[in-house]
Amino acid sequence: MSKVKSQKEIANHKKIALGKLEQLIDLMIKNDPMKADKFSYWLEDYSSFIGYENKFNPCTLKRYKRGEVVKAHLGFRIGSEEGGLHYCVVLDKNNNLSSPIVTVIPLTSVKDPSHLNHLRKGEIYIGDALYNTLSKKVNDALSNIEEETSTLILRRSNSETVEKDDFIKVLQQLDAVSNMQNELNGMKTGSIALIGQITTISKIRIYTPKNKHEPLSNVRLSSETLDLIDKEIINLFIGKNNR
């Protein structure tokens, strides 16, 4: 059992740790300013996550089902680990609403078509399934926003009471859909599932969807795509090649 340290000892340890961290960031600023900036952003986000931990209640989120796509903050990672904001596939078969964690598989976009000829073990190409599903969601969401806006304008023209919050809600929805559309533009060449980087994360890291009303809610990969993922999991971690 480790020794229980006094507050003075912990404060001294903190001073040493922060000193090393500052030296590291200063070195990054000299050699790789972009990396230093990303690392600093992550430290801010990570501090916020930890600060929110005691207030967090997973029951306020939607239930995440196997095969659903979420966008999660994977953080600043080491080496070739996938980090930052990424689309991920929920792997849990039955994730309880009250569970504070969920297991996911990170997805990455195909940056160069030639990459598909050199996929590494643990990487599988899932085509443009995610793009097509998200594209349909975006189009449906835009149609709903257009309908809601027309309804509000009509009500207002008929001298009915329309709350300011109603318009603000529509603008927020439009902003969320616009962000999704921007990301779709870089996803047309398809996606790769990084089976080798299966990870369990706190649901605090989930950026979207947090409820059933968000555009990404209920976006799910097809059963055929999930079968491909299952086969690669078996091949990679169990050693039985069922392909």
> Domains of the chain: which residue ranges?
32-128+189-238, 133-182
pLDDT at 20: 97
Rounded to the nearest integer, the mean pLDDT of the chain is 89
pLDDT at 216: 81
pLDDT of residue 135 exceeding 90: no
Contact of 126 with 132, CB cutoff 8 Å? no
pLDDT at 186: 64
**In CATH, which of 3.40.50.300, 2.30.30.110, 3.90.550.10, 3.30.230.10 is domain 32-128+189-238?**
2.30.30.110
pLDDT of residue 182 exceeding 80: no
pLDDT of residue 196 exceeding 60: yes
CA separation, residue 20 to residues 14, 28, 38, 49, 170 (Å): 10, 12, 18, 22, 47
82-109 mean pLDDT: 94
pLDDT of residue 240 exceeding 80: no
pLDDT at 1: 60
- The continuous run of DSSP H or E covering 90 comes out as strand 85-90
Contact of 168 with 78, CB cutoff 8 Å? no
